[in-house]
Structure 1
């Protein structure tokens, strides 16, 4: 369902906008009137930009690495230069790289999970603050996870727990500045096959078995015993990003079929 003009006049930055939830959030926000800044390190983010422009909305794409603070600054600077302001930031970058028992993780693999699923959100929140403080208004929506409780992905769970803490602390610290900070906590979600894989090295037979165990746990923990659709994740993100949620801050909304994580 599209709400016409819900984001009319708003500038929205969406990270991880090349595919999946990020691309869906950006496309629907554009249909609801937003001007979009699409951020991803994958070149295919330009395809999301082209589709949004073809539909008649304003959009730019920025290719950068949000696992670095410099990349986050690059993205926010480009947004302000293009549109003059940032009204909404949707932090969508993240995702488990590997699934295995914690004892089987190598130290560098633990570090990689934290870099992937915590640092882009932490850096982007930091980089967007100057613009939002200057305009005395803004909304940050962090995409966390209900997998703060789950098997075979402890480092990822720790990263998402960090996002929950970041959401609550940042909301408390910047409420007086007119900035809302909220999050959704998605559960398992059906999506088209990733065009850019989460683990470029691929999964061996043992890793595939561990992943199957994690998938079974996710499905069995959900009251609805199924994965969400992309639209079921996109809609709550855009609600929290909109003025309809103007008195909601510091909250983490589980979107996981009843599994609170």
Structure 2
């Protein structure tokens, strides 16, 4: 195992499960001091697992759909370790899957709040500290679903993440900060500990969701979902010094599907 992140402070949002947990555990194994940011109680399990493997991790629960929540998370890393070297913005995900005419206005708002504002706010909260040191890396987790079926509000939110990545990278590149993103495709993961939509059984038509599954597999060259490791690997590469001359881009990680 290499030590690409030895003594680097890494904040990973949405790190209690899925891609975020895989990123946090792999980074800790390579020497990172990891702050797990997640409202799920499972964040404590991730901290225990990292510590049991000899790594360093702490956790915080905060609402990243608000400015105050994002500011609180970044300040926690500063209070613990004095700096933020890497921020991985991983919060987001489709809540409902259905043709756009079936979305209620409040559901559109909820999708955008879930998948755009945590990245928008966390970037702002983190660069405040990074600019003081003229150093840092932000890796945003977008999605190839910026072009996809039955999730227009989510697609719009992730399109915003791509725009944040390109525009912010341009602003801060000459001040020592890189901003990059990956756009994961469909990814095999264990069942969510806390479902994005607890009423899915009542609200979600199976055929509408199956449309997403069929489109996702059909759009990939490899005709399969990716693994958690296949998503975490590119995120960690972009966060590492090996990607020092890469900024402002969103890298598709969808088995050939470019979104």
TM-score for the superposition, normalised by structure 2: 0.98
Match among 217, 220, 231 for residue 219 of structure 1? 217
Per the TM alignment, residue 203 of structure 1 is displaced from its structure 2 partner at its CA by 3.0
The residue correspondences of 1:161-240 to structure 2 (distance < 5 A) are: 161-204=159-202, 207-240=205-238
| TM-aligned CA distance change 1:31 to 1:218, over 3 Å | same
Deviations 1:194-249 (A, max 9, x none): 11101111233862210001110111011111100111001000000000000000
Q: Give the secondary-structure state (helix, strand or coil) at the position aligned to 1:140.
A: strand
Per the TM alignment, residue 41 of structure 1 is displaced from its structure 2 partner at its CA by 1.2
Equivalent in the alignment of 1:100: 98
Partners of 1:64 and 1:147 in 2: CA distance? 27
Partners of 1:8 and 1:76 in 2: CA distance? 20
Per the TM alignment, residue 56 of structure 1 is displaced from its structure 2 partner at its CA by 1.5
- RMSD of aligned C-alpha atoms? 0.9
Larger deviation: 198-207 or 112-121?
Answer: 198-207
Per the TM alignment, residue 4 of structure 1 is displaced from its structure 2 partner at its CA by 1.9
Structure 2 gap segments, 5+ residues each: none
Match among 245, 251, 255 for residue 253 of structure 1? 251
Larger deviation: 206-215 or 243-252?
Answer: 206-215
Partners of 2:152 and 2:229 in 1: CA distance? 27
Equivalent in the alignment of 2:108: 110
Structure 1 gap segments, 5+ residues each: none
Partners of 1:58 and 1:76 in 2: CA distance? 17
The residue correspondences of 1:145-164 to structure 2 (distance < 5 A) are: 145-164=143-162
Q: Give the secondary-structure state (helix, strand or coil) at the position aligned to 1:247.
A: coil
Q: Give the secondary-structure state (helix, strand or coil) at the position aligned to 2:205.
A: helix
The residue correspondences of 1:30-179 to structure 2 (distance < 5 A) are: 30-179=28-177
Deviations 1:93-146 (A, max 9, x none): 000000000000000000000000000000100100111001110000000000
Q: Give the secondary-structure state (helix, strand or coil) at the position aligned to 1:204.
A: helix
Equivalent in the alignment of 1:28: 26
Partners of 1:189 and 1:88 in 2: CA distance? 23
Partners of 2:82 and 2:191 in 1: CA distance? 36
TM-score for the superposition, normalised by structure 1: 0.98
| TM-aligned CA distance change 1:54 to 1:101, over 3 Å | same
Partners of 2:38 and 2:119 in 1: CA distance? 13
Larger deviation: 115-124 or 40-49?
Answer: 40-49
Per the TM alignment, residue 58 of structure 1 is displaced from its structure 2 partner at its CA by 1.3
2:111 and 2:153 in contact (8 A); partners too: yes
| TM-aligned CA distance change 1:158 to 1:54, over 3 Å | same
1:19 and 2:17 aligned = yes
Equivalent in the alignment of 2:240: 242
Partners of 1:193 and 1:39 in 2: CA distance? 19
